[in-house]
Amino acid sequence: MTVSGVEGSGARYRAYLPWIVAFPFTVSGVIHLVHPSTFTGIVPHLLPWPTALVYLSGLAELICAIGLWRRDRWAGIAAAAVLVMIWPANLQDSITTQQGNNTLLQVLLWLRLPVQIPLIWLGLQSGRDPVQTSASYRHAVDLHGSVLRRLGVDWESGVLSMDLRVAEVDVVIHATGLRKLSVVWAFPGADSKPIERVDVGHEKLSIEMQGGGHIRVEAASIQMP
């Protein structure tokens, strides 16, 4: 029986890294649809219907951006695919710009090509839940013999608290910004069925009971001393 804490502030903030990709996708997607001529010139010359391709890529970026802002898993995979597909257009833009005299712009456009690699990695962090990956836990505390003593939920304020009894010591778990709660608790007394496992992440909590039963929580923040 273990309670696991996430590996620190790095794991905590990783969930928000996709927003770094969501912002430029949002801006670029809007420009694609509102002013497509900005991008038609960089569509690879071998491809037909450049304006239609600009509209499609802009729509794809906006769809991905919505998912990235929501930190959906599918959005990270889709954004990575979009970044790979638009790489030829960025290459074409870099080649075309060489015909001008703006040296700074030429350098920046060539630097943009390798920058897409970390953007792909940032996008792929979308929807990755540190609670579901054992490597995301740095330490574990033995909770052998612990029991759930109290569970309190205030949906109006979005607050959940629970008390665990661990070796004659009370441990309190506090969640704010409550979004989801699933409870399967089919036994008469709080002390009648001990806890099997407690996994605590920054936004998710899972408690498994011996012999069946669970409590699963999703919240904006979950704190445990």
3-state secondary structure 209-223: ECCCCEEEEEEEEEE
pTM of the full predicted structure? Answer: 0.53
Find the angle CA(88)-CA(94)-CA(97) to the nearest 5 degrees. Answer: 140
What pLDDT does 190 receive? 46
Question: Domain boundaries in the chain?
Answer: 18-124, 134-223
Amino acid identity at 206: S
Q: What is the pLDDT of residue 191?
A: 46
> What pLDDT sits at residue 54?
92
Q: Are 66 and 26 in contact (CB under 8 A)?
A: no
What local confidence, expressed as pLDDT, does residue 4 receive?
41
Please list the pLDDT of the chain residue by residue as tens digits (225 residues).
343 444 444 445 677 889 999 999 999 999 999 999 988 887 877 888 999 999 999 999 999 999 999 888 899 999 999 999 888 888 877 888 888 777 787 788 788 888 889 899 999 988 765 434 333 333 344 555 677 777 788 877 888 888 877 767 777 888 888 888 887 765 555 444 577 777 776 678 777 777 667 788 888 887 776
- Give the pLDDT score at 130: 45
Angle value at C-alpha 211, between 207 and 212, nearest 5 degrees:
50
DSSP one-letter code for 206? E
CB 39 within 8 A of CB 32: yes
CA distances from 131 to 4, 7, 92, 95, 158 (A): 9, 10, 42, 45, 21
In this predicted structure, what is the pLDDT of residue 140? 40
